[in-house]
């Protein structure tokens, strides 16, 4: 699938590459705000994760956003994720 290569992103949880359409994106903006980027196009450093219960649960349990963004992510973001099954 060479034509789609540019749409591939690596999941921060399982490290497997997948198409953007199968993933959710988190972003850290210049002013250090971290949030779920529903548009997938927000400015800033992006972290991609599979839009699957398995990867999202692991992300929450191990607080992998802290690792991915190399900073401390607010509990409320994890709680928001935990409360949602659909994105
Ligand atoms: Zn994954």
pLDDT in tens, 64-85: 999 999 999 999 999 989 876 5
Tell me how far the alpha carbon of residue 11 lies from the centroid of ligand 1, in angstroms.
5
- Closest by Cα among 23, 24, 17, 25 to 1: 17
Tell me how far the alpha carbon of residue 47 lies from the centroid of ligand 1, in angstroms.
11
User: Residue 3's pLDDT is what?
Assistant: 59
Q: How confident is the model at residue 12 (pLDDT cuts 50, 70, 90)?
A: very high
Which residues are close to ligand 1, an ion, with C-beta < 5 A? 11, 13-14, 50, 55
Question: Is position 87 within any domain?
Answer: no
First to last CA, the chain: 26
Whichever domain contains 21, its CATH number is 3.30.1230.10
Percentage of the chain lying above the pLDDT 70 cut: 91
Tell me how far the alpha carbon of residue 12 lies from the centroid of ligand 1, in angstroms.
7
- Pair of tokens at residue 76: 């409320």
For the entire predicted model, the pTM comes to 0.87
pLDDT in tens, 23-45: 999 999 999 999 999 999 999 99
Count how many domains the chain has.
1
47, 68 in Cβ contact below 8 A? yes
> What is the domain range of residue 29?
2-82
Cα–Cα distance between 14 and 81 in angstroms, integer? 17
């Amino acid at each position: 699938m060479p034509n789609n290569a540019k749409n591939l992103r690596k999941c921060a949880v399982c490290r497997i590459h997948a198409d953007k359409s199968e993933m959710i994106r988190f972003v850290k903006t210049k002013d250090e705000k971290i949030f779920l980027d529903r548009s997938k196009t927000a400015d800033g450093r992006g972290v991609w994760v599979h839009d699957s219960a398995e990867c999202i649960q692991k992300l929450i349990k191990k607080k992998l956003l802290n690792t991915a963004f190399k900073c401390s992510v607010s509990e409320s973001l994890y709680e928001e994720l935990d409360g949602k099954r659909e994105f």
